[in-house]
Each structure stands twice: as structure tokens, then as C-alpha cells.
Amino acid sequence: MAADAPTVPPEFDQRLRELLRSDVEFIQLIEDDLISAGGKRVRPRLALLASEALGGVPHALELALAVELLHSATLLHDDLVDDAETRRGREAAFRKYGNAVSVLSGDYLLSRVLFLLAETGRVELVHLFAEAARLLAEGEVLQFQAAAYREYSEAQYYRIIESKTAALMRAATEGAALLGDAPRPLREALAAYGGAYGLAFQMRDDYLDLMGEEARLGKPVGGDVREGKVTLITLWLLEAYPDEVEPILLRRGREPGDVERLRGLAESSGVAARVVAAIEERVEEARRSLAALPEGSARAALEGLALAELERLQ
Amino acid sequence: MAADAPTVPPEFDQRLRELLRSDVEFIQLIEDDLISAGGKRVRPRLALLASEALGGVPHALELALAVELLHSATLLHDDLVDDAETRRGREAAFRKYGNAVSVLSGDYLLSRVLFLLAETGRVELVHLFAEAARLLAEGEVLQFQAAAYREYSEAQYYRIIESKTAALMRAATEGAALLGDAPRPLREALAAYGGAYGLAFQMRDDYLDLMGEEARLGKPVGGDVREGKVTLITLWLLEAYPDEVEPILLRRGREPGDVERLRGLAESSGVAARVVAAIEERVEEARRSLAALPEGSARAALEGLALAELERLQ
């Protein structure tokens, strides 16, 4: 997708490579994998665009690298959880080198996050990241716990995505405001944008996990159903058609036709359209937050990022 | 053992409990386990005694909590690696709740480390911890890699224990000097003490893993042999008796009598005594480093900690 073309500057990848250099071969192998797999660099783009929207802030590159590495560490630790078939289009690292090395290489990334935060010289940024990292860990565990207990509710769904996704995206944009000592209304606007964008991003991801096309997704649809994760769409289907949907979710969509049936029901019932509308709301919220920022290409790019979440639903 | 009686103040456990409070039940269960399992609190004692030796430093309690939590997170992440039967005398957390929750709860602890570091207001301490955490991760992976490649050497053994154990103990004592803005010679003395003590601590632990008594260890001897970890004692035995020792290490001590044979060889050959002498050297180094510190009960307690490593060898 053209909208996903990397827009981080070349210094980003160069600094990333330097930061991940280790003379421990097993670590280097995993980090090489991470670097070459690339990824959309959504979080660093948020940080860099937020910085740009403020006319540039000190240590924006360190912030961008820190959010990306915290996210990458979570991916390495998360591969154990959901046993994902593919991760950023590459075989999950742990299949090659074992869970142990994945987890510890994730810890290595976290030590680099600490280093980057220290490099900014701003202890308030360490506080901001402490909170984002706490929410991230809680969100991931909560998702696991919800699946284990089959405890599903809309409130819990929002809490999970707020914690595991939106919190770090908010730290990316709010972090730029912090580094730039931006006035409070600008900082609040950027925090609100990052949070709303993060929710839209995760809701779109969850929507396409069931409703998308495999060719565009690059993975089979219905992954969340197979992992016992209930998202907004299956939650609302469960409310509308408990007798038909509950057994499918309980058997984790294992029978032929299960996933297709959920897709069909979502379309015919209007649940899919309701979820799209809920995503639109978050996108609108993100756009509205931008009003407080000075007009310009960075603000337009942030708006474009939010709108791209809707375009991906087409 | 009386020498292991907890000497951290009650505020330590109280703050620990507060820090680990989460309304995510799965996290709380694991953290409760960590708190009630207790442990020797060696790292926080190092931090608190170093602070005391300097006449008290600001945020010593935060430093003590941060080193303990970084260590605890490593234990949670490490349980995946070595599949330890017991950990601090309790069933390893991951056996109860699964690898995923263990890893993510470890990440939760790491977010609290970030929080504690931010609370000290000292960005230099974040730098110090970044380096300790980097070495910790590298040391753990290197140990795994050495076992996988069967790449053993004395230099590599020392690098592994320096990274995975000594670096954090050094951060505990040097961190106190940093927080107290101690003059350079005192900071260097405390760093040297922490590093040398850390090596002695790990070498004693590795020695007893093969040569200790199960009743005092609280676990079967020979654990490292079964996990493919070569320590100083098996390394030197391998050099002295390659034909006999290599097959035992290759089959990871699986045949009856293997571990007893290694113990017997170590005693009769004098290898065990050489390892004890090497530990004594580190203990002496740790004691010598203390000379730069003001005399008093804290310095005496640090000396006592080092000497206790030798007493445990009896």
C-alpha cells in the first residue's frame, strides 16, 4: 500500500542499526531480522510528525527510536503469546531461535529504550514511558486473561486496546510535545490525537482481521477468532446472535465455514457497518484534536495518517 | 542460613507491594508470588548498605527497589530459558500461569523500574541502568548461545557472569554513589566492590550447583550440567580429563553416577580447591575496594556480605 511507504528519514534506520549492534551473535541475528523486516514505522512517524508540527523539538529522533524499540520488544515478547504465523511478513523470530532468545533479545531492545530516554536528558520523558510501558504490559496480559476466562465486554475491549496500542501512540505524540516544552493546549491536543489515532488503528486492524481480504492482509482471516480474542465485531455478533455465534467462538472457528459464517452475519446484520462507524468516530476525534496545532504539512500528514485508517477499510 | 536473614527495612516490602499492585488479576497473582517468595534481597541490600556507607543518599530506597525489580523481571524471563524446577524455593511462576503471562508480568516489573528511575530525578541513573540492563540481556543470551554452540572458554565464562550477575550488583553500589554525588574515588571503590562481589557471588553459586549439598541448596545438584551450562569447575575438569568429562557434559549428566563422578574428580584432582581459591581472590578484591570508604557499620556489613560467600563454601 502506497500509504504505508516509509516516511522516516534515512537517519532513523542508520541509528537503529547502530543501537542494535551487539557482538553476541544470537542477539544480532534477531535484531538483523527486525531491521530487515522493516515494518510500517507507524509509531516513529507519529513522533517525528508531532515534532515537525511543533516546528521541530530536541531529540525527536531518540523519541522516534524509543517508541519503535519498545513496540518491537513487545512483538518479540508477544510472539510467545499468540504463536503468530507471520509477523511483519517474516517468520516469527522465535521459530528460528527459540523462545528464550526472543524474550532476552526483547529485553536487549528495552535496555536500548532506557539508553535513548537517558540521551534525551529528560526525566519527565522517562515518567511518560514508564506509564506507557505499564499500560502496554497490562493490556497484553488483560487480553490473555480475557481469553482464558472468556470475560468479554465492550468496556474491556476498549480498555485492552487503549492499553496495548493507544497508550504507546499517545506517548509518541505527547512525548514530542514534552521534549519541545510545548504549551499545555498543544500537548493535550497531541496526546488526544495519539490516543484517538491509536484506537482507530487497532480497531481497523481488528476489523480487517475478520472482514479483510487475505491477499491484502498477507495472512489468513479469522486469526483473532482462532486465538480466542473477542473484538468489537465478534462481541456485537455475540450479543445479536448468541445461539449461533457463541459455539463458533467457543470452538475458536475450527469448523469449516465458521469464519465465513461470521463474516456473512456481520455483513447482513449491519454489525460490520456499525464497527466501521465506530472507527470513523475515532478518526474524526483524532482530526478534531489537530485543530489546536499550527496549520502546515506536518499537521496535514497527521490528518492523512488518520484518514488512511478509513481508506484501508474500503 | 542466618547470614541470609533479610536486612532490608520494612519500608522496602511495603513499597514493593504498592509498586506491584495491578488491577489485572493475572499480573497480581504473579507479583504476589514474587513478594511472598521473598528471596535474599541481596541486590537491594547492596544498594542500601552502599548508601549507608556514604552517610545516606537521596532515593536510596528507589534504587534498592529498582535493582530488585530488574532482577525479578530477569528471573521471570529466565524461567523460560532454563526451565528451572524451583526458583526461590517456589514453583516457577510460568508453570502455573503459562509462559506468556510470565514474560508480560516481567515486562510490567520493568515498567516499574522505569518509574522508579524517573522518581529519582537523575537521568544519569537511567544511563547506568541502561548499561546494566544491556549487559544483563547480553549475558543471558551469551550463556544460551555458548550452550547451543558448545563454545566454552574461561574468558567466555567470566564474560557471562560479569554480564548476567556482576553488572547489576555494580549498578546497585555505584548507583548509590551516583545518587549521593560521591567523589570519584568513592564511586570507583563502590563500583569495584559491587563488580567483584558479583563475580564471587555467581562463582560461589556455580560452585555449589555441582559441589554443594542438596539439603542446603534446596534443589538437586548438577543443574547446570543438565542444562548444558559449563562453569569454571566443569571447564577446568574438561581441560584436565577431556576423554572422561566431555562425554558426560555432552550427554548432560543423564547417566546414573555422572554427577557424582564429576564431583569426585573435582575433589581428587584439586580442581574444586582451585575454584575455591579463585572465589577467594574475588572476595579479597571486594574487601580491598572497601578501604576507600569511611569505616563504620555499613562498610563492615559490606565486608561481611563478601566473606559470607566464602562461608557458604564450607
- Classify residue B232: in a domain, yes or no: yes
- Classify residue B116: in a domain, yes or no: no
Cβ–Cβ of A104/B141 closer than 8 Å?
Answer: yes
Residue in B100, B117, B127 closest to A81 by CB = B100
CA distance A259 to chain B (A): 26
The Cα–Cα gap between A53 and A212 comes to 33
Residue in A77, A136, A145 closest to B103 by CB = A77
| Confidence at residue A29, expressed as pLDDT on a 0 to 100 scale | 84
Residue-number span of the structural domain to which A83 is assigned: 9-38+60-121
Cβ–Cβ of A108/B141 closer than 8 Å?
Answer: yes
| Confidence at residue B80, expressed as pLDDT on a 0 to 100 scale | 67
Compute φ and ψ for B141, nearest 5 degrees.
-70, -40
User: Residue A75 above 90 pLDDT?
Assistant: no
Radius of gyration of chain B (CA): 19
Q: Does residue B178 sit in helix, strand or coil? A: helix
| Confidence at residue B90, expressed as pLDDT on a 0 to 100 scale | 44
| Confidence at residue B99, expressed as pLDDT on a 0 to 100 scale | 78
Which residue did the predictor score with more confidence, A241 or A219?
A: A241
- Classify residue B211: in a domain, yes or no: yes
Confidence of residue A294 (pLDDT cuts 50, 70, 90): very high
The Cα–Cα gap between B141 and A103 comes to 10
Amino acid residing at B237: L
Cell 490473555 belongs to: A144
Terminal Cα distance for chain A, rounded: 13
Confidence of residue A81 (pLDDT cuts 50, 70, 90): very low
The Cα–Cα gap between A204 and B28 comes to 31
Tens of pLDDT, residue by residue over B163-220, are: 999 999 999 999 999 999 999 999 999 999 999 999 999 999 999 999 999 888 888 9
Under a CB-based contact definition with an 8 Å cutoff, are residues A196 and A174 in contact? no
**Could you please report the per-residue DSSP string of A120-163?**
HT-HHHHHHHHHHHHHHHHHHHHHHHHHHHT---HHHHHHHHII
Cβ–Cβ of A115/B121 closer than 8 Å?
Answer: no
Cβ–Cβ of B145/A103 closer than 8 Å?
Answer: no
Cβ–Cβ of A130/B142 closer than 8 Å?
Answer: no
Residues in chain B where the model's pLDDT stays below 50:
1-6, 81-97
Tens of pLDDT, residue by residue over A155-181, are: 999 999 999 999 999 999 999 999 999
- Classify residue B269: in a domain, yes or no: yes
The Cα–Cα gap between A206 and A233 comes to 8
| Confidence at residue B206, expressed as pLDDT on a 0 to 100 scale | 97
Cα A72–Cα A102–Cα A229 angle in degrees, nearest 5: 65
CA distance A236 to chain B (A): 24
Number of cross-chain residue pairs from A and B with Cβ atoms under 8 Å apart: 155
- Classify residue B185: in a domain, yes or no: yes
Q: At what angle do helices A123-149 and A60-82 cross, to 10 degrees?
A: 20
User: Residue B239 maps to which CATH number?
Assistant: 1.10.600.10
ipTM: 0.91
CA distance B66 to chain A (A): 13
- Classify residue A14: in a domain, yes or no: yes
Tens of pLDDT, residue by residue over B244-279, are: 999 999 999 999 999 999 999 999 999 999 999 999
Which of A113, A141, A144 is the best substitution to test chain B (most B C-beta atoms within 10 A)?
A141
Tens of pLDDT, residue by residue over A182-210, are: 999 999 999 999 999 999 999 999 999 99
The lowest-confidence range among A16-25, A28-37, A262-271 is A28-37
pTM: 0.92
- Classify residue A289: in a domain, yes or no: no
Residue in B with minimal Cα distance to A83: B100
Tell me how far CA of residue A56 lies from CA of A178, A256, A302, B314, in angstroms. 12, 53, 15, 63
Residue A64 cell numbers, joined: 522516534
Tens of pLDDT, residue by residue over A90-148, are: 444 444 446 778 899 899 999 999 999 999 999 999 999 999 999 999 999 898 888 87
CA distance A6 to chain B (A): 29
The Cα–Cα gap between B271 and B285 comes to 21
Quick one: which of B128, B190, B138 has its CA closest to B161?
B138
Residue in A with minimal Cα distance to B122: A123
Q: Give the number of domains in chain A.
A: 1
Residue A95 cell numbers, joined: 521459530
Cβ–Cβ of B24/A105 closer than 8 Å?
Answer: no
The Cα–Cα gap between A156 and A300 comes to 33
Tens of pLDDT, residue by residue over A224-269, are: 999 888 999 999 999 999 999 999 999 999 999 999 999 999 999 9
Work out whether strand B90-91 and strand B86-87 pair parallel, antiparallel, or are unpaired: antiparallel
Cell 481508506 belongs to: A311
Residue in B with minimal Cα distance to A132: B111
The Cα–Cα gap between B39 and B27 comes to 19
Q: What is the DSSP letter of B162?
A: I
The Cα–Cα gap between A175 and B120 comes to 20
Which of B20, B79, B110 is the best substitution to test chain A (most A C-beta atoms within 10 A)?
B110
- Classify residue A87: in a domain, yes or no: yes
